[in-house]
Amino acid sequence: MAEARKRLHEFAQGLGRQVPEALGCLEAGFNAATQFFAFPREHWTRIRSTNGLERLHGEVKRRTRSIGAFPDRDSALRLITAVALETAHVWADRRYLDMSLLNLGAQKVVAA
């Protein structure tokens, strides 16, 4: 995180002066863009991508299109919930992230 802040400062002092709009955008989104630093380094490659959410969205879209028109909002919500639960079961069987690393990080924070 310190390196990211240093690079932001360097950019602001150099090219940022020539493109103040870009600098403003970068500064406004800096905290959101660097949230992944709060997680263990081993998780960074997985959490920087939205592929899992995009896959879920694509599956919901595919299933709702095949139905066509729903009789009411609740029936559409039931289908979407079923797709999300099915996906959650598939993801539960796979080890996407080692969650024990989060527990270790929390223990370090408590100990400090």
**pLDDT tens for residues 38-92?**
888 888 877 777 788 898 999 999 999 998 899 999 999 999 999 999 988 887 7
Predicted TM-score (pTM) of this structure: 0.50
Q: Indicate if 4 and 28 belong to the same structural domain.
A: yes
79 is a domain residue: yes
CA angle, 98 then 100 then 104, to 5°: 130
Q: Which amino acid is at 74?
A: D
Number of folded domains that form the chain: 2
> Other CB atoms closer than 10 Å to residue 87's CB: what's the count?
15
What residues make up the domain containing 19?
A: 1-38
In this prediction, residue 87 carries a pLDDT of 86
Q: Indicate if 31 and 86 belong to the same structural domain.
A: no
In this prediction, residue 19 carries a pLDDT of 93
Closest among 12, 57, 42 to 30, alpha carbons compared:
12
Q: Is the pLDDT of residue 102 over 70?
A: yes
DSSP class of 43: G
How does the average pLDDT of the chain come out, rounded? 84
97 is a domain residue: yes
Q: Where are the alpha helices (DSSP H) in 16-99?
A: 20-33, 44-47, 51-67, 73-93
43 is a domain residue: no
In this prediction, residue 20 carries a pLDDT of 92
